[in-house]
Amino acid sequence: MSWFVGVDVGGTFTDFFAFEESTGESFVHKTPSTPDAPAEAIASGLQAVCRARGIPLDQVARLAHGTTVATNALLQRRGGTVALITTEGFRDLLEIGRQTRPHMYSLQEDHPAPVVPRERRFEVAERVLADGSVLKPLAPEAILAAVEQVRASGADACAICLLFGFLNPAHERALAEALRAAIPDLYVSLSSEVQPEFREYERLSTTVLNAYLQSVMDRYLGELGARFEEIVPGLQIGINQSSGGLMSIGRARRFPVRTALSGPAAGAVGAIHVARLARRPRVITLDMGGTSADVALIQDYRASTGFDRAVGGFPVRLPMLDINTVGAGGGSIAWFDRDGGLKVGPISAGAKPGPACYGAGGTEPTVTDANLLLGRLSPRGLLGGRMGLDREKARQAFAPLAERLGFPVERAALGVLAIVASNMVRAIRAVSVERGHDPRRFSLMPFGGAGPLHATDVARALGIREIVLPPAPGILCAQGLVVSDLKEDFVRTGRMPVETLHLDAMHGKLGELLADAEQWFIAEGIAHDDRSVELTLDMRYVGQNFELPVKLAGTDLGALDELKRLFFAVHEMSYGYSNPNDPVEVVNFRLTTKGRLPRPSEAPVATTSTGSPAAIEVRPVWFATDAPVDTPVYDRDRLRAGLVLQGPAVIEQLDATTLLYPGDRLTVDPSLNLLIELAP
Amino acid sequence: MTTVDPITLEIVHNGLRSITDEAFIALMKSAYSTNIKERRDHSVTICDLAGRLIAQAENSLPIHLASMLGLMEKVLEKVPLADMREGDIFVANDPHVAGGTHLPDVNMAMPVFVGGRLLAFVCNIAHHADIGGMVPGSMAGGTEIYQEGLRIPVIRLFRAGVLQDDILDLLLLNVRVPMERRGDYFAQVAACRLGERRLVELAETWSPATLDAVFDEVVARTERRMRDAIGRIAPGIYTFADVMDDDGFGAHDIPIRCRIEIDGGRFHIDFTGSGAQVAGNINLKLSGTVAAVAYALKALLDPDVPNNHGVLQAIEVAVPEGTILNARFPAAVAARANTCQRVIDVVLGALAPALPDRAVGAANGANTTAVFSGTNPATGADYLYLETLGGGFGGRATKDGKDGVQVHITNTSNLPVEAIEMEYPLLVESYGLVEDSGGAGQHRGGLGLRRVVRPLGHTAVFSGQGERFAHRPWGIFGGEPGACGRFLLRKADGTTSPLPPKPSSMPVTSDQALVVETPGAGGYGEPSRRLASDVEGDRRQGKFSAAYLEQNYRR
């Protein structure tokens, strides 16, 4: 027996998903998170789970872990003490950034102060040019002086980011070597290692954040590794990255910034797994929780990747799953703006006091209160009744709002839900139509605690015809971890025209990347059959500044005309036009490598049975403003594969409630996904 | 007439904003001009049939509000609605006859039809890297509009969906690097069509009548919201005066004066007493002055108020014709952004006593522009590199002014040094903050920026636009003024010599370097009230010299 375990540590709950390779057996488990001692909580959580299930610890072969330690350290500004070394003349760049204000019209709002204050930013006399040649060599005395400045600053980590260091990293490496020799316990982050591509400010910011997180993550992952070495010697541990793949603990300690957005990424990977089971290659995900909703687009079972995100107000340039977040959740509060317009979110009642109906002191009308008032959530409460909901309190919270609108409470509640849906629609448009994808060609996959309640409203507004609901929407992130592969992203910047003349140079860059990949495969011990690589070129028309990723079928550049044709097609899709006669250039070469890990089978697991389950109850549910509809309520655990239900219906399970509108049709597929077909 | 409830209003308004944001991004990513692609010097809006601005993309520049309104007014004046056809796209740029504010901003408007009925217009503006005229970049040097570039009245670039090739040929023949400008025109056209498609989809979901009602409601609510905020300012007369340094053609210390009357929800501003229009290119058309006033009020009173016509309906602006703030044909206007900044300064200065917790010291008050051009010695191709630099932001009631940032009417990004050097034969030797340039105060003003640029292997041509190079940005409530900006030429022997604030076509050889220093900003409150720990921070960070700290804080 050999168990794979996914552990997703969220703000409120720690979710476990465990899977056994030979039998296909799996189970889920949820425990409260302990933010103060996350490593210990995971270890003791795993011990408890295994004890309860009668699994000997030595049968746990692999643990995949999604962590918010880095994210929280960034948001709470609890990273290390960082020094920075830059090219002479550029120490203020970290502070200037792109010289913009975060809010065009605000006289008061600024971008956050950099995590390295000016007195710990040091300059070295050196200069590399745009072709990688050295204009001014880095003198040994300059290295010594910089080392002394860093030492005197008392920093525990040092970021090094020199102009064009991504083309010629010699100076960065010389500084790093000297620093490591002179200050052995100093963490060092090089821009040429963290993200070796052009545009100095984004590379600098990413490198600085990496250094800022190194001490925190090194401590955490060190503890985690040691603790597991005690209880399960030899356990393989994978840490989830923002790009939606795992890395070893060793790499995570070197590149902690790659975990800054790892939480939502696991959800998208889990969604891809479910999409495969349901045989739906095109899916838009909607992960809606208490305060926010994450949306992502999946095409051909792959999530699209983006590169520029801000975390805690700081730009990060790294491959990350292209996930858009909007302040729309169950706790989102409805309020009137100064002009009398009705808004929902981003302000949230959070977990405490929570929505008014939690009875924990909340008085503002929230999305959850609206769902309760409309009969969509069970008056018996959440978590199978373990958490009671107070309908009267929800009504009280909504009364002033309804009165101001001049509507009955139910109509006001429906309005609030329509607005929160429109906010999510806007977020989905940003990852679909704004990237050239027509959402009507996709299925919507809601998950998270609140997703299944709102999916139909969102789908209809986007013209989406089908909803796919995973069997356990609340733990999809933990499930995603178990089906993740080991992953690494390599990049080389090399700006060159797509012309025969430059073919050798292009092959040169490609050769370097393939060599990097080979090294990584060996270092991570990945067998030949489990290896895969994927080549993407960032291309643009000569004169443009934004590159478009052009994915190649293999790792062969092929004919240049064909390469251009691929670019024209991507340009056409993204911007609606292309000019086949204009010159094209490559800017970055990217290679993504994957090491396939064993994972749960993608074959259907459920046995089919016929016959309708009995409804638990029938309750009035508001679908439209005129009157409620008597609606049967079903227990999801009793819905077998092959079952067909005609709406209206409510389907309840431990951590989610699904709404089936009148006229819509629900089918349970062989993997126990619910497929909802929306009536035209 | 159809009415809308607040719920429908919010949802449809969301839809309209999605459309403008989507088109904004598409335009940015597919354009060729650095101004658009890296600096976001472009805007997208939806206007109704009366030419009112209904929705503007979130990141649109405030100054573009003016061009958009001007354009719509002229389009409607020239072409009866009945003569518009599906697929028409209007193009224009001229400030004197087509509602623009300067020639490089090329404006487009496309009528949107739903079921054969005209519903609205989708419009966009993009700042092209060059529009012809006497100087590369079309931003410096002229004394009349003819010298500043190609003047485009309101004309159709597309008629019923058909490109007017002859017109495009004419437009492109008159600009430098025409192939890139063609890319910019097509990026704008694509953005129009994208907006059109989306607006039709929205109208099909909600009905054109609902959209009409939403247009009215959006504008009415915003106007009410602005008037409410104005109504909370103590009634009275508020005045302020400042000066522009010069126009580059002999006019100095040009006064900018305002008199604001607040009376309940009424805001009336009169610029009588401001200087006569000048020969240099810093003149504003009236719509530009209105846009600057609208920005200042919105920033002071309610930064989150939606950007639409309601903001404009809440303010009354009076400017005598023939002045620098309401210039007549054939005034030169290319560098009008600097004058916008000064208009904002005087509005903020006038209202400071009424709104002490929101007022700020004068910011760098400029749109410092540096343009390098020449022939790349490696490729033989001509190049043109334009950049506008930020400076100090004024001290505030609760904190220091930000260092090195774009202020007020502009919020454009810098171009990455690595992008500059990959694209142009230029070396950026340094890019940093100017020490001691922030005005002292309880909360000090922000620091200006310094950028040093050296041509590699050739002689480059430099043109620039500076303001607050002679008159320092003032402090408020006892705060000290910030430092002035300047252009310097560093010679082969390392010595520097000052250049005029508006240099035009100056050669810079490869053993010389051009130094741009932008102004700092004014402080807020008496320097004596600055906390010892803040002064200590100034010292520790090395942003201020010991001499400066001694002189201003006596410590």
The residue to which tokens 């089971």 are assigned: A277
**Sequence letter at residue B241:** A
Q: What architecture (CATH level 2) is domain A78-215?
A: 3-Layer(aba) Sandwich (3.40)
Q: Which two tokens stand for residue B83?
A: 């003569």
| A416: nearest CA partner in chain B | B7
pLDDT in tens, A415-457: 999 999 999 999 999 888 877 788 999 999 999 889 999 999 9
The reply to whether residue B26 touches residue A543, judged by beta carbons under 8 angstroms, is no
The 3-class SS string of B111-175 reads: EEEECCEEEEEEEEEEECCCCCCCCCCCCCCCCCHHHHCCCCCCEEEEECCEECHHHHHHHHHCC
Residue A20: what pLDDT? 86
pTM of the model: 0.91
Chain A residues closer than 8 Å to B422 by CB: 130, 198, 495
CA nearest neighbour of B309 among B120, B155, B127: B120
* Closest by Cβ to A90, choosing from B13, B228, B430: B430
Instruction: Give percent above pLDDT 90 in chain A.
Output: 61
Neighbours of A77 (CB within 10 A): 11
Does the beta carbon of B427 lie under 8 angstroms from any beta carbon of chain A? yes
**Of A45 and B403, the one with more pLDDT:** B403
Q: Looking at the predicted structure, is the pLDDT value of residue A611 above 80?
A: no
Distance from C-alpha of B275 to C-alpha of B3, rounded to nearest angstrom: 47
Output the average pLDDT for chain B.
Answer: 94
Please give the structure tokens belonging to residue B107: 């404006």
Query: What is the ipTM score, two decimals?
Result: 0.93
Average pLDDT over residues A526-553: 89
Q: Could you give the percent of chain B with pLDDT greater than 70?
A: 99
Residue range A487-595 forms a domain whose CATH class is alpha beta
Q: Is A438 exposed, middle or buried (0-12, 13-18, 19+ CB in 10 A)?
A: exposed
pLDDT band (50, 70, 90) for residue B28: confident
Chain B residues touching residue A458 (CB < 8 angstroms): none
Give the residue-averaged pLDDT of A622-627: 90
Closest chain A CA to residue B411: A100
Q: What is the pLDDT of residues B406-436, one digit of tens each?
A: 999 888 889 899 999 998 999 999 999 999 9
Q: How confident is the model at residue B41 (pLDDT cuts 50, 70, 90)?
A: confident
Interface size between A and B, measured as CB pairs under 8 A? 203
The overall longest dimension of chain B from CA atoms, in Å, is 76
Predicted pLDDT at B483: 98
Residues pairing with A445 in the sheet: A285
Domains, chain B, with CATH or none: 6-223 (3.30.450), 360-555 (no CATH)
| Parts of chain A belonging to CATH 3.30.1490 | 487-595
- Which of B403, B432, B540 lies nearest to residue A90, judging by beta carbons? B432
Whether B495 shows a pLDDT value over 60: the answer reads yes
Q: What is the pLDDT of residue B410?
A: 87
Inter-chain touch B10–A576, beta carbons under 8 Å: no
- Reported as type and span, the H/E element at residue A29 is strand A26-32
- Contact (Cβ atoms closer than 8 angstroms) between residue B487 and residue B504: no
- What count of other Cβ atoms lies within 10 Å of the Cβ of residue A310? 12
Q: Which residues, 6 or more positions from A565, have their beta carbon under 8 angstroms from its beta carbon?
A: none
pLDDT of residue B1: 54
Nearest CA in chain B to A431: B22
C-alpha neighbours within 13 Å on the C-beta side of residue B120: 29
Asked whether the beta carbons of B251 and B275 are under 8 A apart, the reply is yes
Q: Which residue in A101, A107, A161 has the most chain B C-beta atoms within 10 A of its own C-beta, making it the best mutation to test that interface?
A: A107
Question: What does DSSP assign to residue B510?
Answer: T
According to DSSP, the β-strands at A82-87 and B105-114 are unpaired
Evaluate if residue A560 carries a pLDDT over 60. yes
Half-sphere exposure of A248 (CA within 13 A, CB side): 11
Residue A336, burial from CB neighbour count under 10 angstroms (0-12, 13-18, 19+):
middle
Mean confidence (pLDDT) of chain A: 90
Q: Which two tokens stand for residue B100?
A: 């623009």
**Cβ-based contacts of A415 with chain B (< 8 Å):** 5-7
pLDDT value of residue A383: 66
Q: Where in chain A is the domain with CATH 3.40.50?
A: 78-215
Mean pLDDT computed over B182-194: 93
CA-based R_g, chain B, Å: 23
* φ/ψ (deg, to 5) at B552: -90, -30
> With contact defined as beta carbons under 8 Å apart, do B140 and B465 qualify?
yes
CB contact under 8 A, A95 and B404: yes
Rounded mean pLDDT of A311-339? 89
Residues near A596 by beta carbon (within 8 Å), at least 6 away in sequence: A485, A526, A530, A531, A532
Top-confidence residue, B367 or A176: A176
- Going edge to edge, which strands form the sheet with A3-9? A26-32, A13-20, A3-9, A60-66, A236-240, A246-248, A486-497, A584-595, A531-541, A548-551
Is residue A603 scored above 80 in pLDDT?
Answer: no
Instruction: Name every chain A residue with its beta carbon within 8 A of the beta carbon of B431.
Output: 89-90, 92-93, 96
Tokens of B512: 């010389």
Give the Cα separation of B259 and B279 in Å (integer).
26
With CB atoms and an 8 Å threshold, state whether A130 touches B34: no
Question: Which pLDDT does position A385 carry in this prediction?
Answer: 66
For A573-598, how does the pLDDT look when each residue is reduced to its tens digit (9 = 90+)? Answer: 777 778 888 899 999 999 999 998 87
A chain contacts of residue B31, beta-carbon cutoff 8 Å: 544
Q: Return the structure tokens found at A272.
A: 């891809």
Among the partner-chain residues A91, A100, A405, the one whose CB lies closest to the CB of B6 is A405
Cis preceding linkage at A648, omega within 30 = yes
Chain B CB contacts of A545 below 8 Å: 34, 37-38, 419
Beta strands in B154-300 (DSSP E): 155-159, 162-163, 236-246, 252-263, 266-270
Residue A311 pLDDT class (50, 70, 90 cuts): confident
Q: In whole angstroms, give the CA distance from residue A287 to residue A274.
A: 14
| Spatial separation of the C-alpha atoms in residues B486 and A89, rounded to whole Å | 19
Instruction: Specify the 3-state DSSP secondary structure of A24.
Output: coil
Interface list for B 533-552 with A (CB within 8 A): 540-543
Range with top average pLDDT, A316-330, B14-28, B485-499: B485-499
In this structure, of A244-248, A539-543, A656-660, the range with the lowest mean pLDDT score is A539-543
pLDDT tens track for B81-95: 999 999 999 999 999
CB contact under 8 A, A88 and B430: yes
Q: Which stretch of A312-321, B224-233, B534-543 has the lowest confidence by average pLDDT?
A: A312-321
| Residue where the block lists tokens 């691929």 | A566
